[in-house]
Structure 1
Amino acid sequence: MNAIPRLLIHGASGRMGLALLRLAAARDDLNVVAAVSRKSPAQRVVDGVPQFAASELSGVPEFDVAIDFSLPEGFDPVLALCAQRGSALVSGTTGLSSEQNRAIEAASQRIAVVWAANYSLGVAVLAELVRRAAAALPAWDCDIVEAHHTRKLDAPSGTALHLGQAVAIGSGRDPHYASLRAGDIVGEHTVQFASAGERLELIHRATNRDIFARGALEAALKVVRQAPGRYGLAELMFPNL
């Protein structure tokens, strides 16, 4: 691997892909060698970054790690390419099938892979704190309240469900969920534990969507130096948590 990891951004024309390109350009610890989008690019090079269509994926230059925020139908080719070339993969593509998850497990025998529904580093820490609180307070009621902008269709959010899994792992019980859709809220998640006479609340508020792209870039820097395997975001970023 080069001293400065070579990065491929897959799903480059999406909201996350554009944020990744913008933020990576301001860093000197990553070198973006290719940007891949579903459609054929209008320009072959934009701001010094070679542009490729998804149909041209096999022809991209060598890279050390790929960040993928695409669609389920675009996930298989980038996973296969990473496995073929021995490159690490960071993916935030949601809606993957059980078969695709099995493919991740198979690929993780050859390459380092991290997949997460949310790349906020704060949420990664929150999930571990929630698991610990649930384990310490297994008899307490637990509710997860999430709030997002009015355009978000799924409810509860994927992050709320992820936090709910942490509750279930810690206490063996499932929480109750409540969802709010209002204005332009980027994302807020409150995990409340309640018993007679007291409540404990753990809260994360996102005020800028760039946090997700920053988290993915940090994950790419970490995972590119790892041995083959499948890594969770908290495990990767905060091994001593």
Structure 2
Amino acid sequence: MNNTPIRLLIHGASGRMGQALLRLAAEDSSLQVVAAVVRKPPAQRVVDGIPHFAASELAGAPPFDVAIDFSLPEGFDPILALCLERGVGFVSGTTGISEIQQAALSAAAQRIPLVWATNFSLGVAVLAELVERAAAALPGWDCDIVESHHVHKKDAPSGTAITLGEAAEQGGAAPRFASLRAGDIIGEHFVQFTGLGERVELVHRATNRDIFARGALHVASQLRARAPGQYRVRDLVGRPR
């Protein structure tokens, strides 16, 4: 068993998720952040013992085991290319990537282990599995997915709702979607299966944004020992498969 800390590169370290990843990784002795990458040249080269690099300096980053990327679509290609060059794991929650970039992910999975996901909550990963199982066990039932988020969220349905819908389709259901935008809701996803005289309800509520950073760190910690392939968050939760 490898007990050496997992060396992480955080790409997009100046963003909200990047800052959460740096803070939470510092609390876990099994993780070591060896580089933080930001868009512009940093005002400080070392912050809390972690070397900081501009995106243009990415090639000069020290050796790492897994990169965690929460950046922008224009920063996605260089970090994926670096992981391929070094033969290391890649975890990304960058949204808005193109079909060409999705194809690049699939090709990269032939050489390195990687995860790209719309939501890194471990609870949502379990919910997706339950949705697929329920859909398969309840053929012919109506399937409705209702998602609620804060008023500033633009996309509807959410990426997570779409992922849950894909899980339902894998089980044979035909999901319908509804979206609510209200207040400061972090994220709620409600999946309902309705038959004659009965219904099954599955729900996940996020009450703290740290769950997404914790999930990404968990996925990264599981990815180092994996063979090349494109994994889902749910593949890396619970007992080894």
Q: In structure 1, what is the Cα distance between the partners aligned to 2:187 and 2:86?
A: 36
Q: What pairs with 1:160-175 in structure 2 (closer than 5 Å)?
A: 160-171=161-172, 173-175=173-175
Deviations 1:110-147 (A, max 9, x none): 21111111000000000010001011112111110111
Q: Which one-letter code corresponds to 1:82 in the other structure?
A: C
Q: How far apart are residue 239 of structure 1 and its match?
A: 5.5
Q: Which one-letter code corresponds to 1:42 in the other structure?
A: A
Q: In structure 2, what is the Cα distance between the partners aligned to 1:15 and 1:117?
A: 16
Q: In structure 2, what is the Cα distance between the partners aligned to 1:94 and 1:70?
A: 8
Q: How far apart are residue 174 of structure 1 and its match?
A: 2.4
Give the gaps of 5 or more residues in structure 2: none
Task: Please say if 1:38 is aligned against 2:30.
Answer: no
Q: What pairs with 1:91-240 in structure 2 (closer than 5 Å)?
A: 91-171=92-172, 173-238=173-238
Deviations 1:83-110 (A, max 9, x none): 1011111111111111111111221122
Q: Which one-letter code corresponds to 2:228 in the other structure?
A: P
Q: In structure 2, what is the Cα distance between the partners aligned to 1:44 and 1:116?
A: 30
Q: Number of paired residues?
A: 240
Q: Which one-letter code corresponds to 2:50 in the other structure?
A: V
Equivalent in the alignment of 1:24: 25
Q: Which one-letter code corresponds to 1:186 in the other structure?
A: I
Following TM superposition, the consecutive aligned residue runs of length 4 or more in structure 1 with deviations greater than 6 angstroms are: none
Distance 1:113 1:179, change over 3 A: same
Q: How far apart are residue 2 of structure 1 and its match?
A: 7.8
Equivalent in the alignment of 2:10: 9
Q: In structure 1, what is the Cα distance between the partners aligned to 2:195 and 2:111?
A: 47
Q: What pairs with 1:44-63 in structure 2 (closer than 5 Å)?
A: 44-63=45-64
Q: In structure 2, what is the Cα distance between the partners aligned to 1:6 and 1:68?
A: 14
Identity %: 68
Q: Secondary structure at the match of 1:56?
A: helix
Q: Secondary structure at the match of 2:171?
A: helix
Q: In structure 2, what is the Cα distance between the partners aligned to 1:135 and 1:238?
A: 22
Q: In structure 2, what is the Cα distance between the partners aligned to 1:239 and 1:96?
A: 31
Q: Which one-letter code corresponds to 1:71 in the other structure?
A: L
Contact map agreement 2:142 2:174 (CA 8 A) in 1: no
Q: Which one-letter code corresponds to 1:12 in the other structure?
A: A
RMSD: 1.3
Q: Secondary structure at the match of 2:230?
A: strand
TM-score with structure 2 setting the length: 0.96
Q: How far apart are residue 176 of structure 1 and its match?
A: 1.2
Q: How far apart are residue 236 of structure 1 and its match?
A: 2.1
Q: Which one-letter code corresponds to 1:234 in the other structure?
A: R
Q: In structure 2, what is the Cα distance between the partners aligned to 1:193 and 1:239?
A: 28
Q: In structure 1, what is the Cα distance between the partners aligned to 2:52 and 2:66?
A: 17
